[in-house]
Amino acid sequence: MNLILIATIAALVIPMYEAAQDNDIWQKMLAFSSIATKASIVILIVSVLRDDWMIGVVGVIILSVGNAALMLLAQILKRLNEL
Amino acid sequence: MCWPTVRVVEVTVNDSYLYAIILLMPLTAFMVIFQANPYHALVIRGILGAVSALVYAVLGAADVALTEALVGTMLAITLYAIAVRSSLVLRLGILREDEPEAENLDLKRLIADLHSITSKKHLRLELVPYEDRHALQQALWKKEIHATCSRLCQPEEARYETTIRVEYLYEILKTELSSPITSLSYLNLPTLEEKH
């Protein structure tokens, strides 16, 4: 199980590198969504490993809030490019 | 004497992945610092929010993680995006008859030049059309727009004149704009304190 966790953390670094070096804002948004999802998955794995419900609930909420923030930000950025 | 010991998290051999997770936080923080474009920095701030929520949750502070995710990631970024969008802008007033259409190549080229300069400074160029010269002047005086661009009555070598009321925008355009189509001038408007 620890191995899966380490692999997920390693996968978390890939979109981070992508966000750091790409100049297109939509690529950065993609990286953001990827990282937000992976972070909440890692939280869920940790909560299962530790048998801790409290952390698990936080993971679920972050999973949904991360996507909501992404939607709001994407809407504003889209309007920005239209003007 | 016995010192009080504060144990936040007990790191055992099995929890060695904690170090890897915690290392991600300064990494993303540096990414935010070295980002020049404000919009890109906002997206990376979202990434930092997600990563720090992960760190807080893994270290056992579920409430802090929840606050970071709700406020730090969602609310702060959305509000900052709106703030940056409305403040990093150059509002250029033009006459409706001059609007950049296919036949008006001069103004089109001028606006393309302005656009390339403002995008270099991460500014947005917003064109605000007005009906006549009087309304254009009034808008500049009332500080609805930052600059006006209108056709000269007696065209010499420069066919347009651009009047800017914001000093630092004038400084930027004076050094960067090399177009012979327009003449640049700075208009020093009285501030509110001086008026009263």
Instruction: Considering only residues B104 and A76, tell me which one the structure prediction assigns the higher pLDDT.
Output: A76
- One domain for residues B146 and B121: yes
| Spatial separation of the C-alpha atoms in residues B126 and B99, rounded to whole Å | 13
pLDDT tens per residue, range B78-97:
899 889 888 888 888 888 77
Residues 6 or more apart whose Cβ sits within 8 Å of residue B142? none
Q: What's residue B12's pLDDT?
A: 55
| Spatial separation of the C-alpha atoms in residues B44 and A60, rounded to whole Å | 22
- One domain for residues B110 and B164: yes
B47 in a structural domain: yes
CB within 8 Å: A61 and B69: yes
- One domain for residues B114 and B133: yes
Secondary structure of A49-67 as H, E, C letters: HHCCHHHHHHHHHHHHHHH
Does the structure show a pLDDT above 60 at B195? no
% of chain B surpassing 70 pLDDT: 84
- One domain for residues B53 and B125: no
CB within 8 Å: A32 and B43: yes
Helices (H), B12-162: 17-33, 38-58, 62-67, 76-87, 105-120, 133-141
Query: Which candidate in B11, B12, B16, B17 is best for mutational testing of the A interface (most A CBs within 10 A)?
Result: B17
Q: What's residue B120's pLDDT?
A: 82
- One domain for residues B63 and B136: no
Structural domain for B26, as ranges = 13-86
Q: Which of B131, B133, B153, B152 is nearest to B141 (CA)?
A: B133
pLDDT tens per residue, range B48-68:
999 999 999 988 888 999 898
User: What is the total count of domains within chain A?
Assistant: 1
Q: Is B143 left (phi over 0), alpha (psi -120 to 50) or beta?
A: left
Residues 6 or more apart whose Cβ sits within 8 Å of residue A58? A43, B53, B57, B62, B65, B66, B69
Q: What's residue B1's pLDDT?
A: 52
Query: Is the ipTM beyond the 0.85 threshold?
Result: yes
- One domain for residues B157 and B72: no
Q: What's residue B48's pLDDT?
A: 92
Instruction: Considering only residues B113 and A81, tell me which one the structure prediction assigns the higher pLDDT.
Output: B113
- Residue finishing a domain among B55, B86, B117: B86
Query: Which candidate in B52, B74, B84, B120 is best for mutational testing of the A interface (most A CBs within 10 A)?
Result: B74
Residue B174 sits in a domain of what CATH number?
A: 3.40.190
pLDDT tens per residue, range B17-59:
888 889 999 999 999 999 888 888 999 999 999 999 999 998 8
pLDDT tens per residue, range A11-33:
988 988 888 888 888 899 999 99
pLDDT tens per residue, range A36-76:
889 988 899 888 888 888 888 888 888 887 788 888 888 88
Q: What's residue B96's pLDDT?
A: 78
pLDDT tens per residue, range B128-138:
888 888 888 88
- One domain for residues B152 and B132: yes
B8 in a structural domain: no
- One domain for residues B187 and B166: yes
Across the A:B interface, residue pairs with CB atoms under 8 Å apart total 119
| Spatial separation of the C-alpha atoms in residues B119 and B125, rounded to whole Å | 8
Q: What's residue B121's pLDDT?
A: 81
| CB of B34 closer than 8 Å to CB of A72 | no
- One domain for residues B42 and B67: yes
- One domain for residues B28 and B45: yes
Taking CA atoms, what residue in B is nearest to A80?
B85
User: What is the total count of domains within chain B?
Assistant: 2
- One domain for residues B28 and B125: no
SS3 B151: strand
